[in-house]
Structure 1
């Protein structure tokens, strides 16, 4: 009887994994996975180079290697993307020290939210996020610059005194995360992709499984949050889940 129950459980898990895989494949098929790259390479960069107009991008900085684009989802959400073709967090290029520090650049570009709103947006309301290879629909690396969920804001405020520069497990939104603090100077000095690969066991060999997000703490430090994909728990490694594009926090 126990053997039969175990077999049924295994079959159910296999079916669940297949369903999840099919859903993800369907999502990727439904969406044009190269849509963002086409915008960057066929509109923003040529427009900037030929006429000085980066539209539909907000900004094109060839020297620093990135563009910013207003996302259609949410009143204040922006995307920061490389000018080069980089698929996402799984790309070996993100671990190359010569690759631009996209998370730091994104933090520097958070002023776009206030400019769009026409009023200040406190750092406590802002978050950055990138999804895992399995939690995205676009195959051009893009970092979401958007609002933080109010409930995540409250939890991070409570956790802040116990957080340090050592990765520690915490649960956010019913998912297991690894959290560690950073100063703005540390964010500028080293890419968070390299930091994750160097500091979290097994991450270097499986970067595509991770999503990353970043937010400010009440004491001025930043907190880096890493979530790892887990098919059995229907967790696609979406760092974006800590964000609220409707910006209720404001």
Structure 2
């Protein structure tokens, strides 16, 4: 029995070591929260705002950070603790419209030396399963050129109803719909997803959202859903190009 116990103990220890190494390689899930607390000058007695914090709006309750993934990649984060897509707070009409606030901060791209146009800007928020951080953050960056071309080909037939994108985007299934600027400001992208796809509040964390300006009128909202069978962790950030095409220029 002792030899059998030793035989079973060895693979157990190996698995424990492998799992421990895996956990050690995971990014700190509180890294963004720590940056907000230590670098954005929000606490009494703190030094002035410093990199990577670029903007603090105490009244609207958000900060903008520079992200290290590429030269044209920014993040908008609430100053209050909100985990992400799965948070019921996002469906409360009294909660700040973070997606619209992120769009209003596209100036960090449009004021860049290359002058990024609105129809090149894409906002994205990843699902609960497609992110590494425990603090809601909306990615502000450029759209991949191939994604823009696909949307241009589809746009003429798009309306207020969600429709699947044939053959998907970046190898994953997506839905898309058109929304007016008034809808985006009044209802917000999170509630448009929950109310009109429709998605149960308890299922929101399985979805990822993206938004861009339509070529003709209003905005295009895109959504993808977690599918382990298809190896889709629902990260609409995959539709972005954080270099804004610099490597092709």
TM value normalised by structure 2: 0.84
Asked if the contact 1:196–1:203 (Cα under 8 Å) also holds between the matched residues in 2, the reply is no
* Structure 1 match to 2:170: 173
Counterpart pick for 1:225 among 218, 222, 225: 222
Query: Aligned equivalents of 1:59 and 1:202: distance in 2?
Result: 33
* Structure 2 match to 1:145: 140
* Structure 2 match to 1:127: 122
Shift of 1:68: 0.3
Shift of 1:51: 6.5
Query: Aligned equivalents of 1:114 and 1:164: distance in 2?
Result: 27
Change (3 A) 1:99 1:52: farther
Counterpart pick for 1:84 among 77, 80, 85: 80
Shift of 1:95: 1.2
Shift of 1:232: 0.6
- Segments of 5+ residues of structure 2 without an aligned counterpart are 1-17
Which is helix-richer, 1 or 2?
Answer: 1
Query: Which protein is bigger by CA-based radius of gyration?
Result: 2
Superposed, 1:6-21 pairs within 5 Å as: none
Q: Does 1:207 align with 2:204?
A: yes
Q: Does 1:245 align with 2:242?
A: yes
Query: Aligned equivalents of 1:101 and 1:121: distance in 2?
Result: 23
Task: Name the SS for the 1:81 alignment partner.
Answer: strand
TM value normalised by structure 1: 0.84
Deviating more after overlay: 153-162 vs 37-46? 37-46
Superposed, 1:29-108 pairs within 5 Å as: 30-46=26-42, 50=45, 53-56=48-51, 57-108=53-104
Query: Aligned equivalents of 1:184 and 1:52: distance in 2?
Result: 38
Task: Name the SS for the 1:90 alignment partner.
Answer: coil
- Segments of 5+ residues of structure 1 without an aligned counterpart are 1-21
Task: Name the SS for the 2:82 alignment partner.
Answer: coil
Change (3 A) 1:231 1:27: farther
